[in-house]
Amino acid sequence: TCARAAERLLGAPPPPDGHRSQPLHRRLRASLKVSIVEGMFAEVFTACAGPTVLTAWAIALKLGPFLVGVMTALPFFSQFVQFPAAWLTLCFGHRRVALTAVCLSRLALLPLALLPWLGLSLEGKQHLLLAVAGASALLAVVGNNAWVAWMGELVPSAVRGRFFGKRTAIITLMGTGASLTAGLLMDRLKGLDGVGLALPLLALVACVMGVVTTLMMAAQHDPAPPGTLPKLELKAALLPWKDDGARRVLQYQVAWNAAVGVSAPFFALHSLQNLKMTFVIMALHAAAVAGVRVLTAPLWGRAIDRLGAQPVLMLCSLGISAIPMLWLLPSAGTLWPLLFDVLLAGALWSGHGLAIFALPLTVAPRRGRPFYLAAFATAGGLAYAAAASLGGALAARVPQQFMLGGHLWVNLHVLFVVSSVARLGAAFLAARVNEPGAATTRTVAQVVERFLPRLRPATAGSRAPSRPRAPTGA
């Protein structure tokens, strides 16, 4: 019926005939609804304190390309605390650790709101910016480990793709509006030199959003049964590395994040410095990407529930490999080639984000799941951070502008080419990933065949076996 379909879309299993589980069922549905609302306010926080705003802080405080790369890579350098974070999650529970760490990570931006009135030298302001970004990143790692493990328990696995596809679409709309507002604010209130008023104001709004999101998270329950106090043993941290399925995901994470990290921190810098884009134009570009994500996220979510995360991951990784090359085309007076970036980035990163979120939850067993999540995040995060730092160092050594083949190029174009080639190589590692309950794809032809089943001959035995449903709550 329509009611039961709506319940499944929200991620809640249909209630049994008895009445004993009715309160728990209503509590689950309420928690999932609040999770969507909390995600919307979290997008406002990201718009006020995300990579674009941090890049604006870096430009205002005159950080060079190397320090910009280091600063934007801090969230990934911070992944080395994942295993202590997993231990904290097991000791004190998903909900308690997530609430505390996420709140503190967002309130850590308060010194930036007061920066113009602290009387610091330029060097002191630069150090404070890096310290605040580092502290916020460390606390966010702890909070994210607990939150992902919490969602793994809260959202039934059979409809996990659809729920997060719907959640992603809704919160992306909120994030789009918030990013446009932040861009307008930065363009209107930016100072001729220095920090100005817009950046401290955005930092203050980010702190307020930290309080709001904490209250929203506190309204959600944790269905995980209480456990005993675990010991911090090295063998528990090594379990993911001994698991063949988990190890293949780890290999992909390392290669992929390194390939992305070479260029990802520098797209905003390239937009501002070389393409001469205003913050409003950057926000409009982000809004267009977000619009495509809104349209495609539910489709990818249903595809993940039906086919599995691995085919989606491989298809999106292959497509994303071409995106950095698109950034070789626009110039300060010719921005229209970014329309292709809007379509590809919006559609493919939407599917990739859902797949890379769902896959570790499927591969990791329920027992010890925080340590598996810690291993995935640590491997990928440190690879990204190292690649971002190397990318910044490479950009600093290459001439800012040079001629090649009769065309004028900038140093960041080199990073985009390196990243594109590396992404293509990393994408094929997704073919080696074995996802429980899904028939994996090994070649591009198999990926196309899985996603376009109507093009196959309607012969007996031509249909791939459907993916078995995982038990609710697994």
* d(C-alpha 438, C-alpha 211), whole Å: 40
pLDDT in tens, 299-339: 888 888 788 888 888 889 999 999 999 988 888 888 888 88
Q: What is the pLDDT at residue 439?
A: 54
Q: What is the pLDDT of residue 17?
A: 44
Q: For residue range 66-109, what is the model confidence (pLDDT) as tens digits?
A: 777 677 777 777 777 777 777 787 778 778 888 899 899 899 88
Residues 6+ apart with CB under 8 A from 338: 285, 326, 327, 330
Which whole number is the average pLDDT over 463-469?
38
Chain-centroid distance, C-alpha 343: 18
Task: State what percent of residues in the chain have pLDDT above 70.
Answer: 79
Q: Shortest CA distance to 87 belongs to which of 368, 377, 363? A: 368
Of the given ranges (20-24, 169-173, 301-305, 325-329), which has the lowest mean pLDDT?
A: 20-24
Q: What's residue 207's pLDDT? A: 92
Q: What is the DSSP letter of 50?
A: S
Least confident of 13-22, 44-53, 133-142, 186-195: 13-22
Helix locations, 155-233, DSSP H = 160-189, 198-218
Quick one: pLDDT at residue 16?
42
pLDDT given at position 422: 92
Q: Which two tokens stand for residue 45?
A: 């926080």
> Which residues are registered as beta bridge partners of 402?
409
Range among 23-27, 366-370, 403-407 rated most confident: 403-407
pLDDT surpasses 50 at 7: no
- Band (pLDDT 50/70/90 cuts) for residue 8 is very low
DSSP string, 436-454: TTS----SHHHHHHHH-GG
- The CATH class of the 27-220 domain is mainly alpha
CA dist list (Å): 299 to 239, 290, 450 = 34, 15, 14
Domain with CATH 1.20.1250.20 in the chain: 27-220, 235-454
Q: Which CATH architecture has domain 235-454?
A: Up-down Bundle (1.20)
Tell me, what's the pLDDT at 450? 60
- Is residue 408 helix, strand or coil? strand
Q: pTM of whole model > 0.75?
A: no
Indicate the average pLDDT of the chain. 77
> Position 405: which residue type?
G
pLDDT digits (tens, 9 = 90+) for 247-288: 888 888 889 989 998 888 788 888 888 888 877 788 788 888
